[in-house]
Amino acid sequence: MTEYLATFHTHLAALRSHRALTGAGIAARMAPVPRKISSSCGTCVFYTADAPSETLLDKDTEAVYRLDPEGAVKLMEFE
């Protein structure tokens, strides 16, 4: 299992994504975005899954990061 962090353009998108992830049985939590990562709304979702699970994320997702011991690695960025 890998830990991911998703950032969003809106707080509502973060909430919808959190609900979709937990509804699919994926452990997820909402939190403020870490200072080293910028975000439009300031809210992110940390989640642990086998894959980035981008199909469960809201259409207003900004980016998805994989969390490693060395830091966050950006996997994908959305428009």
Looking at every residue in the chain, the average pLDDT score rounds to: 94
DSSP 3-state percent helix, strand, coil across the chain (nearest 5): 20, 45, 35
- Write the class of the CATH domain 2-77: alpha beta
Instruction: Give pLDDT tens digits for 9-29.
Output: 999 999 999 999 999 999 999
Residue 51 has what DSSP assignment? S
- Tell me what pLDDT residue 35 has: 85
pLDDT, tens digit, 9 for 90 and up, residues 30-53 = 999 998 887 778 899 999 999 999
**Euclidean distance between CA atoms 65 and 63, whole angstroms:** 7
The pLDDT assigned to 36 comes to 85
pLDDT of residue 40: 78
Determine the residue type at 11.
H
